[in-house]
Amino acid sequence: MQKIIEMRDICKQFPGILANNHVNFDLRKGEIHALLGENGAGKSTLMSILFGIYLPTSGQILKNGEPIEINSPNDANNYGIGMVHQHFKLVEVFTILDNIIMGVEPNKFGFVKRNQAKKEIEDLCKQYDLSVDLNSIVQDVSVNMQQRTEILKMLYRHNDILIFDEPTAVLTPQEIKQLLNTMKFLTKQGKSIIFITHKLDEIMEVCDRVTVLRRGNVIGTVETKNTTKEDLSRMMVGRDVIFNIEKKPAKLGDIILEVNDLTVVSERTKKNVVDHVSFRVREGEIVCIAGVDGNGQSELGQALSGLIKTNSGEIILKGVDVTHKSIRFRNDNGMSNVPEDRHKHGLILADTLGNNLALKKYHLKPFQNHGLIKTKPIYDLAKKLIENFDIRSGEGFKARMGALSGGNQQKAIIAREIDKDSSLFLSIQTVRGLDVGAVEFAHNKIIEERDKGKAVLLISFELDEVMDVSDRILVMYEGKIVKNVLAKDITVEELGLYMAGVKKDTVFPDKISQPYTPNEETQEEMTNE
């Protein structure tokens, strides 16, 4: 079949790290080609080179057999290459229509011909079966529709090579299915797609071929029909990955975190983003708050960690009311917290890896003495954590945090928080941007913490994580908890219904957080106390 894009012998050298080492990659016309690899394997670098964000150190790009030169995203666009970024590049206060035509507005003497554009886009929508409301403002529409807007942006620019960078990370199962169907449909219309994802199921479902990268090298390109999930993950990680996490039954202990009637009012909309939420987390259990992004989970997480103020209700940590206590008090008194936004809250990117690993500890002994910072314990801690958590950095703990790949940054945060040895491990989107190997590692660490008797509260938008790791699931919809259920008692499909707000239950915060007993009847009795 015809090779529409060929990348030959691409090398990209960053300080201290060779991100791409003689990578060969080709995309055939009309196929979906998955790009798979661990964090920091060089996928994003390779695609950034194709999209003109980076220049390769050496190597060549060919389109339809002709060598081409891509120096900027504009060049890429002229060659028909479009990209849906993991974080959408939309102007939030513009309408969808304006976002789609931005930069290529059809105009007469500088006046935008909106009606003409609108008609063209409506035709596109019909042709590709993508429904969007062109007159809505982007910030008011769902993530799902924002993504369709990004796809339409590429189609409107007549791009025929489409790059999707982890597009399913932000969607519900139903929406993922829809997106995968759209992708298949697009290839039938003659588009070619490069699909970056960590989710092997999705690859097996829609892709024709997979190229696996590991530490900057191509491990191989295989036809999907000739391979299995297990093979792919072995190629990617270099060892076997266990998909079904083994875990012992939970041994519940005392209540560690008690949230009573917590309400957070959004400053912007004046609505209750967290709406009278109550729940308990006990020692030795993993509670997972599931839900589609934007239903108040982020605010709940921030309220628990102290980043935003609560409007009513109370947060009790190990019997101490911390509702109005400082963040440092919570940090020092038994709360570990992996924040949602690692760049904004989790890390100081301009500082070194070593200092970031000690970010929550340097004011404690032995890292300081009479207010003077002691560097040796900080370095020792950093070395230990880098080793134990396999944080890959070009220059060790002296590396600038911002120079690490996203996955390794996340690993650094997880390492720091687990090392704190707190009784509550609060983690929001723990595995965002992590590859299967690292996800497995992080999940095992979390389960290890649980087995040590820690209380774990995860807030996750990813159903796989919710189903695999948690002992108990709380579903959040529009700021309220609409379901409280043991993980073994619910299916993915049913969970999806709760997440979408189709089903709602009256939830009693303590119903299932009683000491765990395998017998259903005794459990019922105990809840009546």
Partner 1 sequence: MSNFNSKIKAYWKKIHKSDGFSALTGALLAIAIGLLVGMVLMIIINPENSMQGIGRLLKGMFNNPRGGWIGLGQMLYRATPIIFTGLAVAFAFKTGLFNIGATGQYTVGIFAALLVGVLGDKLGAFQWIVAVLAGMGAGFIWGAIPGIFKARYNVHEVITSIMFNYIGMYLVNGLLNSNSLKTLVVDGSTNRTVKIDQTARTSYGFFNDLFPNSGLDISILIAIGTAILMYFILNKTVFGRELKSVGLNRDAAKYAGVNEKRSIVLSMAISGMLAGLGGALFILAPSVYNLGTVYPIENVLLNPGFDGIPVALLASSNPIGVIFSTTFVSYIKLAGNSMQGVGFVAEIVEIIIAVIIYFSAFSLIMTQNIGNIKVFIKKFKKKKQKEKPEFKGIDPKAGEK
**Residues forming the site for partner 1 (CB under 8 A):** 8-9, 11, 55-61, 67-69, 71, 305, 307, 326-332, 337, 339, 344-351, 355, 359-360, 362-363, 368, 371-373
Q: What's the closest the beta carbon of residue 359 comes to partner 1, in angstroms?
A: 5
Helix H or strand E segment including 265? strand 255-265
Q: What's the closest the beta carbon of residue 357 comes to partner 1, in angstroms?
A: 12
Task: Select 331 or 484, whichever has its Cβ closest to partner 1.
Answer: 331
Residue 249 preceded by cis peptide, ω within 30: no
Task: Select 144 or 430, whichever has its Cβ closest to partner 1.
Answer: 430
Taking alpha carbons only, the member of 174, 131, 171, 136 closest to residue 151 is 131
Distance CA 26, CA 29 (A): 10
Task: Select 245 or 373, whichever has its Cβ closest to partner 1.
Answer: 373
Q: What's the closest the beta carbon of residue 443 comes to partner 1, in angstroms?
A: 23
Task: Select 417 or 440, whichever has its Cβ closest to partner 1.
Answer: 417
Q: What's the closest the beta carbon of residue 51 comes to partner 1, in angstroms?
A: 16
Q: What's the closest the beta carbon of residue 71 comes to partner 1, in angstroms?
A: 8
3-state helix, strand, coil in the chain (%, to 5): 35, 25, 35
Task: Select 363 or 511, whichever has its Cβ closest to partner 1.
Answer: 363
Which residues, in sequence order, are bridge partners of residue 193? Answer: 32, 162
Task: Find out whether 343 and 354 touch, Cβ atoms under 8 Å.
Answer: no
Taking alpha carbons only, the member of 183, 423, 462 closest to residue 283 is 423
Task: Find out whether 304 and 315 touch, Cβ atoms under 8 Å.
Answer: yes
Task: Select 71 or 131, whichever has its Cβ closest to partner 1.
Answer: 71
Q: What's the closest the beta carbon of residue 367 comes to partner 1, in angstroms?
A: 8
Q: What's the closest the beta carbon of residue 327 comes to partner 1, in angstroms?
A: 5
Q: What's the closest the beta carbon of residue 52 comes to partner 1, in angstroms?
A: 12
Task: Select 192 or 305, whichever has its Cβ closest to partner 1.
Answer: 305
Q: What's the closest the beta carbon of residue 54 comes to partner 1, in angstroms?
A: 11
Taking alpha carbons only, the member of 207, 259, 212, 258 closest to residue 233 is 212
Q: What's the closest the beta carbon of residue 429 comes to partner 1, in angstroms?
A: 15
Dmax (CA) of the chain: 78
Q: Which residues contact 460 (CB under 8 A, 6 or more apart)?
A: 288, 289, 290, 428, 429, 430, 431, 466
Q: What is the secondary structure of 367-436 as a DSSP string?
A: TEETTEE-HHHHHHHHHHHHHHHT---TTGGGSBGGGS-HHHHHHHHHHHHHHT--SEEEEESTTTT--H
Task: Select 59 or 220, whichever has its Cβ closest to partner 1.
Answer: 59
Distance CA 431, CA 415 (A): 13
Q: What's the closest the beta carbon of residue 296 comes to partner 1, in angstroms?
A: 19
Q: Phi, psi at residue 23, to the nearest 5°?
A: -85, 130
For residue 286 the two structure tokens come to 């993993």
Task: Select 125 or 327, whichever has its Cβ closest to partner 1.
Answer: 327
Distance CA 77, CA 430 (A): 34
Task: Select 205 or 395, whichever has its Cβ closest to partner 1.
Answer: 395
SS (H, E, C) 325-359: CCHHHHHHCCEEEECCCHHHHHCCCCCEHHHHHCC
CA distances in angstroms from 331 to 242, 346, 423, listed in the order given: 33, 13, 11
Q: Which residues contact 133 (CB under 8 A, 6 or more apart)?
A: 96, 141, 145
Q: Is the dihedral of CA 371, 419, 432, 392 positive or negative?
A: positive
Q: Which residues contact 31 (CB under 8 A, 6 or more apart)?
A: 1, 187, 192, 193, 208, 209
Which residues, in sequence order, are bridge partners of residue 161? Answer: 81, 192
Query: Over the range 183-222, which residues count as b (16 or more CB within 10 Å of their CB) and which as e?
Result: beebbeeebbbbbbbbbbebbbbbbbbbbbbbbbbbbeeb
Q: What's the closest the beta carbon of residue 331 comes to partner 1, in angstroms?
A: 4
Question: Measured in Å, how far apart are the chain's first and last C-alpha atoms?
Answer: 69
Task: Select 267 or 529, whichever has its Cβ closest to partner 1.
Answer: 267
Number of Cβ within a 10 Å radius of residue 154? 23
Task: Select 11 or 490, whichever has its Cβ closest to partner 1.
Answer: 11
Task: Select 182 or 333, whichever has its Cβ closest to partner 1.
Answer: 333
Q: What's the closest the beta carbon of residue 345 comes to partner 1, in angstroms?
A: 4
